[in-house]
Amino acid sequence: MFFTNVSHDLRTPLTLIAEPVAQLAAAKNLTPQQQTLIRIADKNTKILQRLINQILDFRKYENGKLNLKLTEIDFAKSVRDWMESFYTIARKRDIKLTLVSSDADEQLPVALDTEKIERVFFNILSNAFKYTPDNGSITVSYGSDGKVLTFSVADVGEGISERDLGNIFDRFYQVDRIHPNGSGIGLSLAKAFVELHGGTIAVESTLKKGSVFTVTLPVKHVAGEVTEAQKNIGGKEVTAELDTIDTSLMVDSDKPLLLIIDDNRDIQKLVSELLADTYNIITASNGKEGLRLSARYVPDLIICDVMMPVMDGLECCRRIKNEVTTSHIPVLMLTACTMDEQRVQGYDSGADGYISKPFNSAVLRAKCTSLIDNRKRIKELWQSSLMPAPAESKAPQPEKKDIPTGDIDDDFYKRFLAVFKAEISNSDLSVDKIASHMGLERSQFYRKIKALTNYAPVELMRRLRLQQGRTLLLTTDKTISEIAYDTGFSTPAYFTKCYRDAYGETPSEVRSKMSR
Ligand code: ADP
């Protein structure tokens, strides 16, 4: 009773916080830092709101005041709609999310309280996401024999110990490793909603192997047309529940990262002060440390002194340019005398430019800007070479071969393409696997691909799959399903969705245009 009263009291002020926060979050003129802060607030008000609603619903259920509002819906379509909101996070975390139906693509009309079953579904699917590591897989299946409708969510995740299995549907029960957003009420409410329908919810699980939650509902029908179930839980709720906010954005993410390598603290300071308004800056005081920092942070630009102890600037630059994780980074050498300049020019260190001390601040700025812009242009070329032009457009698309790249980058990308293309039809192909094929750690691989192409690896791979899909669509007689599987999409529906997102038309529209 106390909980209920408090929850009611909390709801009004919370709404009055949530609304302004949501409006602020949508504002266009926020700095990245403000955006991050407001997103944290927005995310957490959503979580609080959901919690309070859950407590109130649970109380209603216990008092027998929770009613069922049955409407006739197509369950097959609803499941697809509900899952839609989870694909973004699945993509981001490289989790393979699959839908399996035992009645292939047929409609599945049934009368349900859709709002409640959507919540049940949301709860068990988001639990699956919470307790499944990146690169894992989650499978949603459903089917009906006409009398009962069953749906289940299976994850290859942490699993639940035998001791806990008997309790997880109890109110406020949480297994020790508490998820930051958890409260232990979700499953008990899911059970209440399912039982209200006269159904059951069950779980099978093995620790370290994964869990399967299965909901069984009696098939009922009510008079009237099959209506489209209204969707109550959207991408925003899923993000609030499952996505982490990247607080590294708290550093001004709009600014490029500059590494200054110089043994002279005064020069470090001077250059930092000159450029601090335009760049985020890190510093190293010799070539060796510079190398370490450049591999770790993969900055957007490096300014490097020629004369330094431990490892001199030319050696440092040569090694930066020979290391696949850093080879694309522009390096500007600081030289003290014309002798140095000659050395820089004569010595094949791969530097992208040099500037002699004492330097003029305007010249320094201009050189930095031009190096960064150059790199940006190259990135954009990559990006547009991967963003196929709409079918109608006759504008020439940059070819990969027109893009200036160093040998190492070129070789890196070629090797990546070879590894990827050999397995393009494998929808299980993970970023980890490619990275290890390429002899890089996952994070190094990620940064390199991102630095070269502006795409995260998963995104790049999807682009390449789509590109290949488009080529097959336009140049072969293969069916859309064949093309989807050939290019490594787990289902034709997912292929269609991604294709539409990328090209603004569906594969079948492309085909019907061709046959016209
Ligand atoms: P919470 O809001 O804390 O997630 P739930 O009632 O939804 O509460 O879940 C209760 C507990 O059951 C969770 O704390 C978690 O330990 C466990 N659990 C639920 N789903 C899974 C799953 N798919 N894999 C592993 N553990 C799970």
210 lines ligand 1 (CB under 6 A): no
Instruction: Say if CB 286 and CB 262 are below 8 A apart.
Output: no
Mean pLDDT for the chain overall = 83
Mean pLDDT of 155-176: 82
Predicted confidence at residue 153, as pLDDT, reads 97
Nearest to 326 by CA among 373, 278, 264, 257: 257
513 SS3 class: helix
* Structure confidence at residue 50 as a pLDDT band (50, 70, 90): confident
Confidence of residue 395 (pLDDT cuts 50, 70, 90): very low
- Give yes or no for residue 392 having a pLDDT over 50: no
pLDDT for 249 equals 41
**CA trace torsion 79, 80, 83, 85 (10° rounding):** -130
pLDDT of residue 57: 86
For the segment 361-369, the average pLDDT, to the nearest whole number, is 90
Q: Are strands 331-335 and 353-356 parallel, antiparallel or unpaired?
A: parallel
Q: Is 354 in the pocket of ligand 1 (CB under 6 A)?
A: no
Instruction: Tell me what the mean pLDDT of segment 29-47 comes to.
Output: 79
**How far apart are the CA of 264 and the centre of ligand 1, in A?**
55
Residue 175 pLDDT exceeds 70: no
Query: Ligand 1 center to residue 102 CA distance, Å?
Result: 27
Best-predicted range by mean pLDDT (71-80, 89-98, 320-329):
71-80
Q: Closest Cα to atom 12, ligand 1: which residue?
A: 168
Q: Distance from the CA of 168 to the center of ligand 1, in angstroms?
A: 7
Cβ neighbours for 417, distance < 8 A, ≥ 6 positions apart: 464
pLDDT surpasses 70 at 71: yes
Ligand 1 within 6 A of 136 CB?
no
A 10 A CB-CB count for 310 gives: 13
Best residue among 168, 194, 204 to mutate for probing ligand 1, ranked by most atoms within 8 Å of CB: 168
pLDDT of residue 109: 92
Q: Which of 187, 203, 207, 212 is the pocket-test mutation for ligand 1 (most atoms within 8 Å of CB)? A: 187
Query: What pLDDT is stored for residue 62 in this prediction?
Result: 83
pTM tops 0.75, yes or no: no
**From ligand 1's centre to the CA of 38, what distance in Å?**
28
pLDDT higher than 90, residue 45: no
Q: How far is CA 250 from CA 24, 32, 92, 478, in A?
A: 17, 7, 20, 48
Mean pLDDT for 142-170 is 90
**Average pLDDT over every residue of 165-180:** 69
3-class secondary-structure state, position 281: strand
pLDDT at site 6: 82
CA-closest residue to ligand 1 atom 8: 184
- For the cut 60, the answer to whether the pLDDT of residue 176 exceeds it is no
Whether pLDDT at 147 is above 90 = yes
pLDDT at 322 over 80: yes
What is the 184 CA–ligand 1 centroid distance (Å)?
A: 7
Nearest in space to 427 (alpha carbons), one of 473, 398, 469, 387: 469
Q: What digits encode the pLDDT tens for the residues 250-299?
A: 455 568 889 999 888 778 888 888 888 888 888 888 888 899 888 878 88
